[in-house]
């Protein structure tokens, strides 16, 4: 009988010992599992800190009055963030600035010697965006001139010669990101009719007469209106200016 009681006591002691071990191992597991749970609740890292050029973008935005979102969008489209990017035409760096343009902007704004250096390249590209905005006062026109060059865009406006497919795709991609919801590109693909005798006026106008009925061709009047660059907090930048490309419906009216 005594032996039986001793064995039962031994089993009870073993059970208690096992329970204590299980309890301790459970506490160890909970303790080990705590750090990941706390890590998951940590605040996320700001997206801006991920961009290594954030400080340069802010500086360029403040210096030239161009919204940071515009700079980021153009940089992404131009180089996808590749500091050493070089186009087939010779444009360089994050903002893909052409060599002649770089040389002029470098002198004008006191930039560094290296066109690939991120800060100088971002400042140059933003300065060029600012100049194109000041020249046209229109988001889509600014983008087209930035991509194709102002001389080529002015030729498009004055003669109707279509812009390249690359430039049209560039504007179509970026304009919505800069606040122009749906820039129309149809007019750029429509050739102009050759001028002939039927275009001559019915009446000869003397040199001293006024021309009250004369209208500027190819949207010249709208190009003379300048709009301020939208503020950083503006949710719909660029919507105040008309798009550069006008589509025609079946009745010949403007859409």
Catalytically annotated residues:
78
Question: How far is 178 from 194, CA to CA, in rounded Å?
Answer: 36
Looking from the CA of 97 toward its CB, the CA atoms found within 13 Å total: 28
* Count of CB atoms situated within 10 Å of the CB of 200: 8
Residue showing tokens 């969008």: 73
Looking from the CA of 106 toward its CB, the CA atoms found within 13 Å total: 16
Residue showing tokens 């930039």: 111
Backbone angles phi, psi at 49, to 5 degrees: -70, -20
Question: How far is 145 from 140, CA to CA, in rounded Å?
Answer: 9
Under DSSP, is residue 97 helix (H, G, I), strand (E, B) or coil? strand
Contact 120, 97 (CB under 8 A): no
């Amino acid at each position: 009988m005594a032996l039986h009681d001793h064995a039962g006591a031994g089993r009870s002691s073993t059970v208690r010992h096992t329970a204590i071990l299980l309890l301790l191992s459970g506490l160890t597991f909970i303790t080990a599992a705590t750090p990941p749970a706390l890590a998951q609740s940590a605040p996320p890292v700001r997206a801006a800190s991920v961009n290594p050029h954030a400080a340069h973008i802010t500086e360029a935005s403040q210096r030239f009055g161009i919204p940071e979102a515009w700079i980021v969008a153009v940089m992404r489209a131009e180089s996808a963030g590749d500091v050493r990017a070089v186009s087939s035409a010779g444009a360089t760096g994050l903002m893909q600035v052409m060599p002649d343009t770089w040389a002029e902007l470098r002198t004008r704004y006191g930039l560094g010697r290296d066109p690939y250096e991120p800060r100088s390249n971002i400042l140059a590209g933003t300065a060029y965006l600012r100049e194109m905005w000041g020249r046209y006062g229109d988001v889509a026109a600014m983008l087209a001139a930035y991509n194709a060059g102002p001389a080529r865009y002015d030729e498009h406006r004055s003669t109707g010669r279509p812009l390249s497919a690359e430039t049209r795709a560039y504007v179509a991609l970026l304009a919505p990101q800069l606040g122009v919801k749906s820039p129309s590109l149809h007019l750029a693909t429509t050739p102009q009719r050759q001028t002939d005798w039927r275009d001559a006026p019915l009446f000869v106008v003397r040199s001293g007469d006024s021309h009250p009925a004369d209208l500027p061709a190819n949207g010249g009047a709208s190009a003379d209106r300048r709009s301020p660059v939208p503020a950083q907090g503006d949710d719909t930048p660029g919507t105040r200016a008309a798009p550069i490309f006008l589509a025609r419906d079946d009745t010949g009216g403007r859409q």
